[in-house]
Amino acid sequence: MTDFFQNTLGMSYEFAWFTATIAGILLIALPLMLAVAMIIYVDRKVWAAIALRRGPNVVGPFGLLQSFADGLKVFLQETIIPSAANKGLFLIAPIVTFTVALLAWAVIPFGPEAVLADINIGLLYVLAISSLGVYGVVVSGWASNSKYPFFSAMRAAAQMISYEVSIGFILICVILYAGSSNLNTIIVAQIGHGFGLVNAFAFNLLLFPMWVMFLISSLAETARAPFDLTEAESELVAGYQTEYSSMSFALFWLGEYANVLLMAALNAILFFGGWLPPLNIDLIPWFDIPGFIWLFAKIFFFFFVFSWVKATVPRFRYDQLMRLGWKVFLPLSLAFVVLTSGWLMLTRYG
């Protein structure tokens, strides 16, 4: 894109690079915001279908404009700041949550060359950026100067730290097989990996349990049901966002769904071939279909799974959540790191 601005419009290299970078950011951020609005609609439709209800069906055809109506409503509302709150931190917290949710998308590859920043440590970058999301939640709970948001913030911090440890070990297994932490390289390494036919790591007997743990940890990391202990209505009113209203509340909502989409994308990229077609068969022109269509289809599938789980699985108790993270996932993921590295040493490097 830099060459396009430089050669076609006659810009200097520095200005062409700057313009190309801004254009790339907008090409990711604006469709992502539209996607967040639409998946909120899809989320509500899935819940309604499972509960034998109709869901949003009034605003626009089939209710498609319901999310935009909700957005307009919160935009026109008054932002109320509690008198005893720390006003600066109270307003910064939702901005941090929303911004961090967008930053991770910089390294997500939508095609072989369709990525904003194709860095060698892409997976490490995603892990680091996603870890920063807890700061917005903790700061919002503390700055509200209210006990229920504060309890929720403490839960969120403990929950995210607990599951990030096991996620780290799971990602080590993927990196060992791919030989790189670059996301495009990880995708290419999955070509024909499943029995020579399927472009996915998930069909590897050592990596399939890792994918199952990663999927469940993704639910916990994004505080989705059955791990939405940070927003348990029966215990914490509305959790860390109890005191928020108007656009500050909407930023939390947008950040949460952007994170859910990110985790769905990581499930697709790390274990199901990302922008690759599902099957490595030349008889069908799979590879003629643009890669971003395959990636979007896989993201949509995993988002459907997230919605399905939220609509059907009852919420865990907090002690069950901690036990699953520390006493089940952590030792299992650590054991599979040893098994995976041992198997690769025996078969690939032995």
Separation of alpha carbons 156 and 55, rounded Å: 29
Q: Which is more confidently placed, 211 or 240? A: 211
What does residue 194 show for φ and ψ, rounded to 5 degrees? -85, 95
Backbone angles phi, psi at 195, to 5 degrees: 60, 20
What are 242-251's pLDDT values in tens digits?
A: 888 888 888 8
Task: Indicate if the pLDDT at residue 192 is higher than 80.
Answer: yes
Q: For tokens 């430089």, what's the residue? A: 6
Q: Find which of 110-114, 153-157, 173-177 is predicted with most confidence, using mean pLDDT.
A: 173-177
Segment among 183-192, 206-215, 246-255, 289-298 with least mean pLDDT: 246-255
On the question of pLDDT at 1 being above 70, the answer is no
Nearest to 308 by CA among 186, 226, 205: 226
pLDDT of residue 329: 94
Please determine, for residue 350, whether its predicted confidence score (pLDDT) is greater than 70: no
**Of the given ranges (9-23, 93-107, 286-300, 315-329), which has the lowest mean pLDDT?**
9-23
- d(Cα 128, Cα 284) in Å, to the nearest integer? 39
Tell me the average pLDDT of the chain: 87
Q: Which residues is 194 bridged to in the sheet?
A: 198
> How sure is the predictor about 236, in pLDDT bands with cuts at 50, 70 and 90?
low
Secondary structure letter of residue 61 according to DSSP: G
pLDDT band at 123 (very low <50, low <70, confident <90, very high): very high
Cα–Cα dist 25/103, whole Å? 10
Q: How confident is the model at residue 303 (pLDDT cuts 50, 70, 90)?
A: very high
> Which of these, 111, 195, 166, 199, lies nearest to 336 by C-alpha position?
166
For residue 233, pLDDT over 80 is answered with no
Tokens of 2: 């830099």
Structure tokens at 123: 């997976």
Higher pLDDT residue, 46 or 114?
46
Query: What average pLDDT does the segment 310-316 reach?
Result: 87
Main-chain phi, psi angles of 117, to 5 degrees? -135, 100
DSSP notation for 109-144: -SSSS--S---TTHHHHHHHHHHHHHHHHHHHHHHT
**CA neighbor of 106 nearest in space, from 24, 182, 178:** 24
Angle between helices 66-76 and 13-50 (to 10 degrees): 110
Grouping H, G, I as helix, E, B as strand and the rest as coil, residue 199 is coil
Q: Which residues, including other chains, have CB under 8 Å from residue 223's CB and lie 6 or more apart?
A: 156, 159, 229, 230, 231, 256
Q: What is the pLDDT of residue 142?
A: 86
Per cent of the chain over pLDDT 70 is 95
| pLDDT average, residue stretch 27-48 | 90
